[in-house]
Chain A
Amino acid sequence: QLQLQDSGPGLVRPSETLSLTCTVSGGSISSSSYYWGWIRQPPGKGLEWIGSIYYSGSPYYNASLKSRVTISVDTSRSQFSLRLSSVTAADTAIYFCAREVIGATEGVYYFDYWGQGALVTVSS
């Protein structure tokens, strides 16, 4: 059974960089059928996709966050990571990592496995 485990500091100071890592176990991060993504959920609000990356390292990002986001992958460690720079209180959220299925049929994209989520609070 595939498992994703997100980890990282729970508190980040304003203007600093948020860093999270997702470790994949029970399956290969190098599978050609999937991307690996980050999604966040501010307290009491809906989900927001941040970005995704292929195992070979081709990331794509939410345009609204693109200037501050970097997603990378380390296949040797079965991990992918998120860095979000210049954070503010608006970046306080639960951050989820997830496996993104790219369906064989055009237009089919969905997240089928999710990490448990990591609460990150931006505060001085």
Chain B
Amino acid sequence: QSVLTQPPSTSGTPGQRVTISCSGGISNIGSNTVNWYQQFPGTAPKLLLFNNNERPSGVPDRFSGSKSGTSASLVISGLQSDDEAEYHCAAWDDSLNGQVFGGGTKLSVL
């Protein structure tokens, strides 16, 4: 059972805008910043967004994030077929004194 809650799966068509939610609590998302990771099958996660909405070098601006209260969202605009992957949210948890993750959301591009 993951500390952060994500929908197990979602889907979209090329060009569409897709939103993936991540729900937590006061001690994690409510108090700290949210990060998002993209993971393709058989590979390591890759940092997609950090500090709620900052993109590492090389990540397209089609990927954006937001946070409100104890929830966060990842938005993918102009969906492309190679965006098909699993997306994980994460944050520091002040009560657990460590990093916590969501269960991951598998994005299918139809």
Contact = CB atoms under 8 A, between A and B. Distances in A.
B17 interface: no
A37 B44 CA distance: 14
Q: What is the interface residue range for chain B against chain A?
A: 20 to 34
- Interface majority SS on A: helix, strand, loop or mixed? strand
Interface in B61-100: 88, 90, 92, 96-100
B44 A96 contact: yes
Given A47-B88, A47-B90, A109 B44 contact: no
Contacts of A109: 32-33, 35, 92, 99
Contacts of B51: 103, 105, 108, 110
Contacts of A96: 44-45
Interface of B: 2, 31-33, 35, 37, 43-47, 50-51, 56, 88, 90, 92, 96-104
Interface of A: 37, 39, 45-49, 51-52, 60-63, 96, 100-101, 103, 105, 107-112, 114-117
